[in-house]
A and B are shown apart, each in its own frame.
Chain A
Amino acid sequence: GDSVTQMEGPVTLSEEAFLTINCTYTATGYPSLFWYVQYPGEGLQLLLKATKADDKGSNKGFEATYRKETTSFHLEKGSVQVSDSAVYFCALSDLSNDKLIFGTGTRLQVFP
């Protein structure tokens, strides 16, 4: 079945460092891809999404490009802030049943 694999965390960075969180997927067809973020003590919220190959989703300085050839949707940010500390979830839409399938999440810790 469809699945999402994320890099294990925690990812620990200093403020203003470059961030990459890897996400790869396995799916039949061409699912939509998402990044959700969970700040401490809160529920998940959508960060960005891409619905077809080569689409780039972007929001709050974060970007991710839908790469069909490498089945990847890596999350990047050029300069992280302490306020970006959170857990980031990669997800895809399972086209067989329209359900979201989540990765296990990657915790990001940014220190001043």
Chain B
Amino acid sequence: IAGITQAPTSQILAAGRRMTLRCTQDMRHNAMYWYRQDLGLGLRLIHYSNTAGTTGKGEVPDGYSVSRANTDDFPLTLASAVPSQTSVYFCASSDSAEQGLDTQYFGPGTRLTVL
């Protein structure tokens, strides 16, 4: 059982380029999330999805978009990357739409550098 996989592991990207970070889970969890982790700021929620076909905005959604076409996949797209989007990105999932109460399972992360 893989749990949550993310790709790529790391990426260096020129500013202005489009980039999609991939996230796949095999636990059949309803809810999925994207966070960014920055030194001194902890983890901040970018977007989330309570169930396939629905998405919502988190704390820092600007410059990012997501889709949830099926239960397993939750890609995060940067339409036109900027240096302030340099960060480590984590995908997570949980079994319940009651996100605050249920354990979240995290992927290994994608380290993105925008130059």
Contact = CB atoms under 8 A, between A and B. Distances in A.
A99 B48 contact: yes
B85 interface: no
B100 A94 contact: yes
A51 interface: yes
Contacts of A98: 97-101
Contact of B107 (A43, A49, A51, A89): A43
B43 A44 contact: yes
Interface stretch (A11-19, A71-79, A101-109): A101-109
B106 A41 contact: no
Interface in B68-115: 90, 92, 97-101, 103-109
B109 A104 contact: no
Contact of A99 (B40, B45, B106, B107): B45
Given A43-B107, A44-B106, A45-B106, A105 B101 contact: no
B2 interface: no
B1 to A, nearest CB: 15
Given A43-B109, A44-B106, 18 more contacts: A32-B100, A43-B106, A43-B107, A44-B43, A44-B90, A44-B92, A45-B105, A89-B43, A92-B100, A93-B99, A93-B101, A98-B100, A98-B101, A99-B59, A100-B104, A102-B43, A102-B44, A104-B41
A89 B4 CA distance: 20
Interface in A44-70: 44-46, 49, 51
B36 to A, nearest CB: 11
Contacts of A93: 99-101
Interface residues of B, number: 24
Nearest to A90: B42
Nearest to A4: B42
B58 interface: yes
Nearest to B98: A98
Interface string A75-97: 00000000000000100111100
A62 B53 CA distance: 39
Nearest to A95: B100
